Structure 1
Amino acid sequence: MNQAEKHEKVHRVFQKIYKKYDAMNSLISFNRHKAWRHRADQIVDARKGERVLDVCCGTGDWTLSLAETVGPKGKVIGLDFSDNMLKIAQSKKEAAQVENVNLVNGDAMNIPYENDSFDRATIGFGLRNVPDYLTVLKEMNRVLRPGGTIVCLETSQTKIPVYRQLYFLYFRFIMPILGKIFAGSYKEYAWLNESASKFPDQETLTKLFLNAGFKNVSVVSLMGGIAAIHSATKPSTSELNN
Structure 2
Amino acid sequence: MSNFTVQEQQVEAMFNGIAPKYDFLNHLLSFGIDKLWRKRLVKSIAKQNAKHVLDVATGTADLSIALAKRLPEVQIVGVDIADEMLEFGRRKLKKLKLDQRITMQKATSLDLPFSNGLFDAAMVAFGVRNFEDPIKGLSEMQRVLKSGGTISVLEFTTPKYAVIGWLYKFYFSRVLPWVGKLVSGHKTAYTYLPMSVQAFNERESFNELLEQSGFKNAQYVQQSFGIAAIYTATKP
TM-score, scaled to structure 1: 0.91
Shift of 1:47: 5.7
Matched with 1:138 is 139
Deviation, structure 1 residue 49: 6.8
Aligned to 1:240: none
Contact 1:156 1:201 in 2 (8 A): yes
Question: 2:103 aligns to what SS in structure 1?
Answer: strand
Change in Cα spacing, 1:67 to 1:46, as seen in structure 2 (3 Å) is: farther
Q: In structure 1, how many angstroms separate the alpha carbons of the residues matched to 2:47 and 2:92? A: 21
Farther off after superposition, 125-134 or 41-50? 41-50
Contact 1:152 1:229 survives alignment (8 Å): yes
Q: Write the deviation string for residues 81-101 of structure 1: whole angstroms up to 9, x where unpaired.
A: 111000111001100112111
Question: Who is 2:75 aligned against?
Answer: 75
**Helix, strand or coil for the counterpart of 1:186?**
coil
Q: Distance in 1 between matches of 2:47 and 2:131?
A: 25
**What CA distance in whole angstroms lies between the structure 2 residues aligned with 1:197 and 1:144?**
29
Which residue number in structure 2 is paired with residue 181 of structure 1? 182
Cα distance in 2 between the residues matched to 1:63 and 1:203: 27
Structure 1 position 94 matched with structure 2 position 94: yes
1:176, 1:9 → 2: CA distance? Answer: 18
Question: How far did 1:173 drift?
Answer: 1.3
CA contact (8 A) 2:127 2:155 kept: yes
Q: Is the Cα contact below 8 Å between 1:206 and 1:230 reproduced in 2? A: yes
TM-score, normalization by structure 2:
0.93
Aligned residues: 232
Where do 4+ consecutive residues of structure 1 move more than 6 Å? none
1:36-115 aligned at under 5 Å gives the runs: 36-45=37-46, 50-72=51-73, 74-98=74-98, 99-115=100-116
Distance, in Å, in 2 between the alignment partners of 1:158 and 1:49 is 32
Q: 1:144 to 1:49 in 2, by over 3 A?
A: closer
Alpha-carbon distance in 1 for matches of 2:124, 2:87: 19
Deviation at 1:80, TM superposition (A): 0.6
**Identical pairs, percent:** 35
Structure 1: runs of 5 or more not aligned:
236-242
What's 2:223 paired with?
222
- Whole-angstrom distance in 2 between the partners of 1:49 and 1:10: 30
Question: Measured at CA, do residues 35 and 49 of structure 1 come closer, stay the same or move farther in structure 2, by a change above 3 Å?
Answer: closer
Task: Give the aligned partner of residue 171 of structure 2.
Answer: 170
- Note closer, same or farther for the CA distance 1:66–1:119 as it changes in structure 2 (3 Å cut): same
* Residues 124 and 154, structure 2, Cα contact 8 Å, conserved in 1: yes
Higher helix share: 1
CA shift for structure 1 position 147: 0.2
